Amino acid sequence: MVQPREQESLTYHLKEVLVGKRRFENAARSVSRMMLSGGVQKNTRAGQTAYEFGFFREGKKHIIGWFNEITDLINFIKDAAEGGSSREMAFVLVGEPGNGKTFFVEYICSLYRQFIARPENKRYTFEFVGLENIGSYGNIKVIQSQTFEDPVILTMNLFGPGELGKDYLSRLEFGEKEIDGFYDDYRPLGACTEFIWNDIRAYCDGDIEKMLGFVRVVPVPIAESLGTVTGKYSARDKITSSATDLLGEEDLSRLLNLSDTSNPYKYNVRRGAIARVAGGGIHFSDELFKNKKDLVQIYLQVIQNRTIELDGYRWPIDTLIIATSNNWEYNRFTSEKEEAPIKDRCRICYVSHNTDYKLQQGLTRYAIGSEKKVAVTGEGLHEDSNLNYALSVAVALTRLPHSDKLTPVEMMKLEAGETAGEKNVKTLVEIKEMLNINPDVTKRWGQKGIGHRGLGRIVQIMLAFHQKRF
């Protein structure tokens, strides 16, 4: 019978990784594995190749449409997982308000939390215990890795930076291929973790077995309300927002306990949104380009270097960064040429409104709701069988451009895979390609018309109007 303390040891964790019961993988690889788990089908829509990923169609309220956008995101994440340039970039969804950008990212985050909660996918970190014995930490007895570093990261840094940990892993019967795979994701320890580990090394005179007695492996907490594993930062007004919201700040209560004021643990980086998702999580920046300039510059440093930096101290992170922006803010931001570096570090994905009236019927059902409508008097309201169809056609038509080659009705039919007299779907593809090269985002395909929130308001007004009239 394995004792609980042994189950929390670093050696026990590594043995579990060796036999495949626990995992060590970066955020991009984990998210990619999750998204591809539902399978993929190749088909043709509106004259163009489209891929249907089963992952995005799960649940009662799932993603509808978004074929090109989903393919772009998965290619971006796969490239990051395979060590490509996407590892040092953020994925930014740009489009009109009300076209589902925020819902899309929150859907991914919700399923990722469920994915990580499964025993075989659970993420682990470590904490240092027994610090009262060292003497320079006051009343602080336990310190957890502030950026939820993986125990394998600690293992690779047991004897200092570099590849000194390879021999230790070999003695635990890891193969050369497995060790090389670990070192593909190697990163140094965070500032405070490194500092504390060196204190423990000095206290134990470098005896690795004694040092490991100060290490306890624990699961990473998964809670939307805590902002761990997945976290969201929404742009605020220029008065209340600060770098502290993203990076953290100096903590007075810690300073009162630490006898060495150079100890980086005096900084509470979990006060910021980045550190809480730094151990293989997803950071969602809502309205990225709406932030004031100094916060955007902080994002540039985080995206490019994948580190949290405070007063010269550095905490390397492993996180997937997904952001959104509306068209107006994006156009305003890109018009300022000095902001080009942050744009170069972003993979921009332009999101259009849904223009397929058949798919729109699913979105319209979301707006109408699944519950039977009841008047304030308690009397049941009748829902016309054609209501969904009529609303779907109406909003789809508002989103289509004017063209000399096709009428809006012809576009709508071709977009839904129907015939439109003698008109060919290739003409529709040409119109889309011509519009989508326009540098003004607002003039691209599907970037105008009634959005999902506008459709919801229409349904609300119809309900209120009915009860006033009858």
Per-residue model confidence as pLDDT tens digits over 425-448: 999 999 999 999 988 888 999 999
Phi and psi angles of residue 50, each rounded to the nearest 5 degrees, phi first: -135, 150
Q: What is the maximum span of the chain, computed from C-alpha positions, in angstroms?
A: 86
In sequence order, the β-bridge partners of residue 279 are: 318
Contact indicator for 208, 220 with CB cutoff of 8 Å? no
User: What is the reported pLDDT for 465?
Assistant: 75
Nearest Cα to Cα of residue 113 among 19, 222, 37, 186: 222
Instruction: Please write the tens of the pLDDT for every residue from 280-295.
Output: 999 999 999 999 888 9
The per-residue pLDDT of the chain, averaged, comes to 91
Query: Which residues of the chain are under the pLDDT cut of 50?
Result: 1-4
What pLDDT, on a 0 to 100 scale, did the predictor assign at position 338? 67
Pairing of strands 215-219, 267-268: unpaired
**CA 440 vs CA 95, 330, 332, 347, 350: distances in Å:** 11, 10, 11, 17, 11
Does an H or E element contain 320, and which? strand 318-326
Specify the DSSP class assigned to residue 400: S
The identity of residue 75, as a single letter, is N
Query: What pLDDT was estimated at residue 216?
Result: 96
Helix axes 452-469, 387-398, angle to 10 degrees: 130
Distances (CA, A) of 381 to 366, 388, 453: 18, 15, 22
Q: How far apart are CA 82 and CA 89, in angstroms?
A: 14
Report the C-alpha gap between 216 and 357 in whole angstroms: 55
How many helices (H) and strands (E) the chain has is answered by: 20, 14
**Angstrom distance (rounded) from CA 48 to CA 412:** 15
Cβ atoms 22, 122 nearer than 8 A:
yes
